[in-house]
Chain A
Amino acid sequence: MTPKPNMSVPSRMALIVHSDMGALSGLQTALSAKGFTAIVARDLPTALLAITHHYFEVAIVSSQLAEGGDGWPLAGVLHLVFPKAFVCVVSPVEPDVLTLQAAINYGVREVYRQSTPAPQVVDSIVKQLGSGARSSSRTRVQ
């Protein structure tokens, strides 16, 4: 059976959870440039809503949403719900031993400094995913 010529290819979904609008915007732009549909959430309820609505291949979560460290359990939930997803955390401080321990125990694949430029973060994610994202892109704000 040959595929229909005009059948659209679904783009890869990424979730960004960050309380800072500038960080959200930068990561969303960088992900879109790599062909991801980026869903953004500024708080936990919005992130949970997004989890129930989409299947994510990538999730970028700030370690600090409403208060310091509350992004980690959300990252853990994302790992449980989407076991094959690349879940990473953005931290405002230089990762130390306890940060790396948290990353391991919550199933997080990578920890990035918040000061790392968004395109650099996304390049690293795409590289670790093993293959480049498809070229079609859509962006949506949730």
Chain B
Amino acid sequence: MPQKRSVLLVDDETSILQTLRLVFEHEGYDVATAQSSSEALGLLGRNGNFDAVITDLNMEEEDIGLEVARAALKAKPKPAVVICTGFASMSNSRTALDLGVDYMAHKPVELNDLISALNRLIARHRDTEGRK
């Protein structure tokens, strides 16, 4: 039986976290949430075993979500890392590309696209890990 997929959602807006939690639980995910980058970094440091991490960019500080992405990309096994932002700029988009972020969604997010991308990325990551 396939293992249940897990996702860490990081956003300082409670309404967005709750909405995404409902959406991804409905999709069959185990969902963990963090309302700040520091909380997310703590979760990644303690456990870190998520299939995917979806993070906002602007929380305690501008573009601080890039630090969440950076930490997630160092985790082993590496989760699929997605950035959701309403404040994309050349600077943060360039950093995300250089970091190797897997997906970038601009708010307002098209949920079907996000779910589809996440399912694809996780399936691919699991396939890659399985072949090692």
Contact = CB atoms under 8 A, between A and B. Distances in A.
Contact of B88 (A80, A101, A108, A109): A101
Interface stretch (B3-11, B31-39, B54-62, B99-107): B99-107
Nearest to B128: A83
B49 to A, nearest CB: 21
A86 to B, nearest CB: 12
A21 interface: no
What class of interface size applies to chain A in its complex with B? 10 to 19
A80 B93 CA distance: 21
A72 to B, nearest CB: 14
A58 B128 CA distance: 19
B97 A103 contact: yes
B89 interface: yes
B103 A97 contact: no
Interface in A94-110: 96-97, 100-101, 103-105, 107-110
Contacts of A110: 97
Given A83-B128, A96-B90, A100-B90, 12 more contacts: A97-B89, A97-B90, A100-B93, A100-B94, A100-B104, A101-B88, A103-B97, A104-B96, A104-B101, A105-B117, A108-B97, A110-B97
30 contacts: A80-B124, A83-B124, A83-B128, A96-B90, A97-B88, A97-B89, A97-B90, A97-B93, A100-B90, A100-B93, A100-B96, A100-B104, A101-B88, A101-B93, A101-B104, A101-B106, A103-B97, A104-B93, A104-B96, A104-B97, A104-B102, A104-B103, A104-B104, A105-B103, A105-B104, A105-B117, A107-B102, A108-B97, A109-B97, A110-B97
